[in-house]
Structure 1
Amino acid sequence: MKYEIFLNLVRWTRRQVEIVSLVILGIAVASVWALAELTDEVVEGSTRNLDRDILLLLRTPGDLSDPIGPWWFEEMGRDITALGGVAVLMLTTLVVSIFFLLLRRWTSALYILATIGSGVLISSGAKDFFDRPRPDLVPHDAIVHTASFPSGHSMMAAIVYLSLGVLIARVQPRFGLKLYVMSVAIMLTLLVGISRIYMGVHWPTDVAAGWLAGGAWAMICLIVARILARRGYI
């Protein structure tokens, strides 16, 4: 009985395209609003103590150069943070774009490149505008060259994995597969952001801003994709 109710809800949701679009738009607007509020707090310095406490919580008491956990856990942190790096994200984008090209979905591949390319520009521009210094409270466990706010790894991981996840989920025949793809996309996004804090290269609010900005941009691009899909372009 419960399964039938769930299936009916899924079928109803699919028919209510405009309602789903409004929900997605609502999520995007809420993300932008939360990002604006968080940015205001960061600029005013209101989050300084919170950032400091969380960063110290992930370090061994008495030795700020040592993240909590055994050596292999720290090594895993480096591996996970690489999932939000330029090389990995570019390779992932290229692989998925080729996948859609092989399916002869040219506009989907173009949409991927446009969404992620514009996301890179937004991330870089935001870093240059705010120019927030990197954390100096603990040693960095990764090499960094850019400003701190927002976290580029977190933002681009959200844009890339969520956007690609949505497009891949759209071509899956079963709801369970769609749910799995999106769950993996969300998990990767969260893990990359957490690893940046664990490595000591970002304040927690940098990562939160990256998630919000990346998620908002992914949702906005998803709305555009839905409009294009309804017109038969994607």
Structure 2
Amino acid sequence: MKELYPRVHKFVAARLTPGEALGLHFTVGIAIMLVAVWVFGSIAEEVIEAEELVFIDDWIARWFNARATPAFTRVMLVITHAHNTAGMLILATVLGIYFSIRRAQYWLLALLVSVPGGMLLNVALKHIFQRARPSLDNPLLTLSTYSFPSGHTVAATLFYGLLAAYLVCLPGKWKYRFLIMLGACVMVGLVGLSRMYLGVHYLSDVMAAIAVGCGWLAICITGVSTLRRRRAARATR
């Protein structure tokens, strides 16, 4: 293979080399982005064409609504309000201050691009699809804006995903890295659950939001990492 197709071999080897500016991190980032786009596209198609997923959405929304309890509703309200626009901007600001203190300038840049940019992207997608929110007889929470995808879940995916990526990159044992990733997934899951339980989003809204968040985060982290590697390569010349 190497002798027959030297250019192909060189290109593939460069894409799989960890130290290259467009190496393994770039390949993984692009792969995650493409998978996220495919998942989002599949969900969006189901929603637009009112296929089986739409009926599952409606059943889950009514199931949660029929089994709501005051105590659990209070918990879900705390989680959902903590991750609204104001709450996420506060969390992002605190993390940004931490990055500044630690002089993690590239992580700070990734934060500034990913969280606000992803939230704006979500607003654009809402106006493109213009999906109405769940219609329930006794809603726990009512909103007049569009439903697809879930803005709270997008923001949570971006914030906790970036935080987990930063912590995983720090020196440490793999078991701690696994717990970090698990913790990020749990937090995103709780935010998505709160939106479905309160009756303001469907399951497909949450699933699509996670796909959007993962795809956008992959673009941001990959782009910033590529910038850092290029600058480091120039500095050593």
4+ long deviations beyond 6 Å? none
Q: Show the counterpart of 2:101.
A: 102
Q: Show the counterpart of 2:230.
A: 231
| Structure 1 residues 23-172: aligned runs within 5 Å | 23-46=28-51, 47-60=53-66, 67-68=67-68, 70-172=69-171
Secondary structure of the structure 2 residue equivalent to 1:59: helix
Report the structure number with the largest CA radius of gyration.
2
Higher relative contact order (CA 8 A, sep 6+): 2
**Are 1:196 and 1:202, in contact at CA under 8 Å, matched by a contact in 2?**
yes
Q: Show the counterpart of 1:211.
A: 210
Q: Partners of 2:60 and 2:143 in 1: how far apart?
A: 20
Cα offsets for 1:11-56 (capped at 9, x unmatched): xxxx952445433432221111011111011011113311111112
**Are 1:112 and 1:163, in contact at CA under 8 Å, matched by a contact in 2?**
yes
For structure 1, the 5+ residue unaligned runs are: 1-14, 61-66
**Offset at residue 163 of structure 1 (A):** 1.6
**Are 1:138 and 1:200, in contact at CA under 8 Å, matched by a contact in 2?**
no
Secondary structure of the structure 2 residue equivalent to 1:115: helix
Aligned residues: 212
Cα RMSD, aligned residues only = 2.1
**Are 1:83 and 1:192, in contact at CA under 8 Å, matched by a contact in 2?**
no
Which has the higher mean CA deviation after the structures are superposed, 163-172 or 71-80?
163-172
Cα offsets for 1:127-178 (capped at 9, x unmatched): 1111111111343323424211111111111112112321233235443443
Identity over aligned pairs, percent: 27
Flag the 1:126–1:222 CA change in 2: closer, same or farther, 3 A: same
Q: Show the counterpart of 1:187.
A: 186
Which has the higher mean CA deviation after the structures are superposed, 82-91 or 17-26?
17-26
Q: Show the counterpart of 2:11.
A: none
Q: Partners of 2:46 and 2:208 in 1: how far apart?
A: 11
**Are 1:133 and 1:147, in contact at CA under 8 Å, matched by a contact in 2?**
yes
Matched letter for residue 93 of structure 2: L
TM-score normalised by structure 2 residue count? 0.80
Q: Partners of 1:213 and 1:141 in 2: how far apart?
A: 26
For structure 2, the 5+ residue unaligned runs are: 1-15, 233-237
Q: Partners of 1:16 and 1:175 in 2: how far apart?
A: 21
Matched letter for residue 94 of structure 2: V
